[in-house]
Copies of this chain bind each other. A is one copy, B any other.
Amino acid sequence: MSTLHLDGFLPYRLSIASNRVSNVIATAYQAMFGLKIPEWRLVAVLAEGEGMSQQALGVMTRMDKVTVSRAAIGLVERGLVKREPNPHDQRSHLLRLTRSGEELYEQVAPKALELERRIFAEFEEKEIGQLRSMLERLEDAAAGFEVEAT
């Protein structure tokens, strides 16, 4: 009889830990700025490279195009993002933070970093680097399986 302790099963532990962390973050953003995670991700990406199409945003944030679409609509409605025509392709628009979107970002970013710091407060620098690298490799490994499944 093969033994499998759920507690020792890494995909399980990963899921639990990730969900808890996501909850903390989601609750904090919602409470502080009324932002959902997908919205926040778009803001974060737009704050760096402005003038992106939604499909580019999808690649950057690894989110489904439906999720991106909804987040973009929400942000435009709230005046945080504006759409400018894309001279090269009339199907898409270039998204850009508005002035108030930029202001929001200036508020959110430090809070996000602080939250990250507090969550990982008891981790050493070296550990954080290792975790980062392992998560990256995991992402790639899992991506490989997804193809296989299809």
Contacts and interface: CB of A to CB of B under 8 A. Distances in A.
Contact of A143 (B18, B20, B62, B134): B20
Interface residues of A, number: 66
A142 to B, nearest CB: 4
Interface in A88-145: 106, 109-110, 112-113, 115-116, 118-123, 127-128, 130-132, 134-139, 141-143, 145
28 contacts: A2-B109, A2-B113, A3-B48, A3-B109, A4-B44, A4-B109, A6-B61, A9-B112, A10-B119, A11-B119, A13-B139, A14-B17, A14-B21, A14-B22, A14-B135, A15-B21, A16-B62, A17-B136, A20-B138, A20-B139, A24-B145, A27-B146, A27-B149, A119-B138, A119-B145, A122-B137, A127-B130, A130-B130
Interface in A1-51: 1-6, 8-25, 27-28, 31, 37, 41, 44-45, 47-48
A60 B141 contact: no
Interface of A: 1-6, 8-25, 27-28, 31, 37, 41, 44-45, 47-48, 60-62, 106, 109-110, 112-113, 115-116, 118-123, 127-128, 130-132, 134-139, 141-143, 145-146, 149
B138 A106 contact: no
